[in-house]
Amino acid sequence: SAVISQKPSRDICQRGTSLTIQCQVDSQVTMMFWYRQQPGQSLTLIATANQGSEATYESGFVIDKFPISRPNLTFSTLTVSNMSPEDSSIYLCSVHTGRELFFGEGSRLTVL
């Protein structure tokens, strides 16, 4: 298993602003994943954060909107840029161990 810490746990943001979410893992991992859970919806993969290379984005998500950093094997950030109310979601960092994903506690963003 892995212990994953995310910051902030929640925030209320103004439309048009950007917010960076931090994810710290207690062990070195090759890949880190960022998911989004919109209200009442499933968990949707935004991108895979690779150390030493650009993140790989899923269909419907672009780097300009969700820039990701992965400076080392235990840390990653996800920025939600130019936020709109539609970005109000829980954003989750996760890592892979075996065939299971372990998740952080999530960052709940509300955009006014």
Partner 1 sequence: DQQVKQNSPSLSVQEGRISILNCDYTNSMFDYFLWYKKYPAEGPTFLISISSIKDKNEDGRFTVFLNKSAKHLSLHIVPSQPGDSAVYFCAASEGLGGSARQLTFGSGTQLTVLP
User: In this chain, which of 89, 104, 109, 111 binds partner 1, going by CB under 8 A?
Assistant: 104
Q: How many residues bind partner 1 (CB under 8 A)?
A: 25
Rounded Cα gap, residues 94 and 25, in angstroms:
9
Beta bridge partners of 80: 19
Least distance to partner 1 from the beta carbon of 61, Å? 13
CB of residue 26 vs partner 1: minimum separation in angstroms?
14
Name the residue with tokens 């899923």: 58
Strands across the sheet with 75-80, in order?
4-7, 19-25, 75-80, 68-72
Does 2 sit near partner 1 (CB under 8 A)?
Answer: no
Is there binding between residue 40 and partner 1 (CB under 8 A)? yes
